[in-house]
Amino acid sequence: MNTLVIEKEELRHNIEKVKEHANKTGKDDNGIHLKIIAVVKANAYGLGIVEYTKFLIDNGISFFAVATIEEALILRNAGIKEEILMLSSTAIEEEIKILVDNNIIITLGSKESIKIAEEVGIKENKMIEAHLKIDTGFGRYGFVYNEKNDIVEALKEVKNIKIEGTFSHFSNSYFDDKYTKEQFERFIDVIEVLKKNKIKTGMLHICNSSAFVKFPGMHLNAVRIGSAFLGSLAFKNQMGLKKIGYLESQVVEIKNLPTNFNIGYSNVYKTKKAIKVAIIPCGYMNGVNVTVNKDMFRLIDKLRYIVRDIKDFFKKQSINVKIRNKNCKILGRVGTYHVTCDITSYDINIGDKVIFKVNPKFVDLGVRREYR
């Protein structure tokens, strides 16, 4: 059986490193320490949303953010009572009602969402807790930053909504410092206008993991941490974060193959000599060799991809599987649920443990997660 293993000590190490970095910011004007909002979307980036959230709670994290109603309900149904923020805005009455009934903090990003939330609050005689979302240049949820008057007008008459926070999201904080600063300035400008119009903004947060590390001056009242807990950032950092999660499997078959024998789909690999191979029941559905698609369209992005691919071509092929602590090369294309490895030089047996480096978020949900 395949297992995604999450090392508890390494995860605890990352949590403490994030806390240490957060504490460097100090306290805000009201003497309150920086709040850490743990983002647990996408099945907690593959680590298992319920167990991961409970682990964070045990290690001092008490505020969580999700991307879907389903994620929020999974946490509530698991008995998690801590604060949960729904990051996506919705103007659908049924969805707002479900969120409110389950004590989920909603996000308001349009006049329509504010109008419907107010109506729900009146019908249910409830004060609805919400965060206000400002779109500073991402193009997803939220009031566009130059619609300041619309925001003021939409909030002016509400009685059953309490704004607990206001936030935005950076689109490229891991790479484009100039645009990140521009987004931040747009956000602060909106906040100033809201305050001048006596609209309470609550907790302010804009930093994701990358911005949290790179721009301590932008921390405001809270930061949203996702990938940093997993030690997975798109740039080098000095925080000493550790990569979390590896895939564990076992050798299920060993065989000898002759010279000039094809291995894998499309016949892209042919043996140059007689070899011994191990068959392992892990493939791209388990996250083996899966990476983010090249989905950027600008010329500069395409050029970066080309340069990276050329560098990779001249590098020695990376060996990404260990059997009995020996580095073994994967031969041929990675299959849906299997790989073939060269074990000619090693004493390896059926049943031996196999370790793959994987990104947890690409590991199929059907694979068991185990915290060790």
Helix, strand or coil for residue 208?
coil
If you ran DSSP here, which 8-state letter would residue 367 be given?
S
Look up residue 48 and give its two tokens.
């298992």
- Give the active site residue among 196, 265, 305, 353: 265
Residues in CB range of 236: below 8 A, 6 or more apart: none
Look up residue 328 and give its two tokens.
């073994």
Q: How far apart are CA 82 and CA 59, in angstroms?
A: 13
Which contacts (CB < 8 Å, 24+ apart) does range 288-295 have? 288/247, 288/320, 288/334, 288/339, 288/356, 288/358, 289/320, 289/330, 289/334, 290/358, 290/359, 290/362, 291/359
Q: How far apart are CA 221 and CA 36, in angstroms?
A: 9
Task: Give the distance from CA 191 to its chain's centroid.
Answer: 27
Using DSSP, how many helices (H) and how many strands (E) does the chain show?
Answer: 10, 21
**Helix/strand/coil (H, E, C) string of 21-86?**
HHHCCCECCCCCECEEEEECHHHHHCCCHHHHHHHHHHCCCCEEEECCHHHHHHHHHCCCCCEEEE
Say what the alpha-carbon torsion angle 18, 179, 236, 322 is, to the nearest 10 degrees. Answer: 90
Look up residue 193 and give its two tokens.
């206008």
Q: How far apart are CA 243 and CA 231, in angstroms?
A: 5
Q: How far apart are CA 332 and CA 269, in angstroms?
A: 5
Q: How far apart are CA 298 and CA 14, in angstroms?
A: 34
- Give the active site residue among 41, 326, 329, 357: 41
Among candidate residues 132, 207, 119, 206, the one with its CA nearest the CA of residue 164: 132
**Residue 41: active-site member:** yes
Positive or negative, the Cα torsion across 140, 145, 150, 156? positive
**Residue 265: active-site member:** yes
Residues annotated as catalytic are: 41, 265
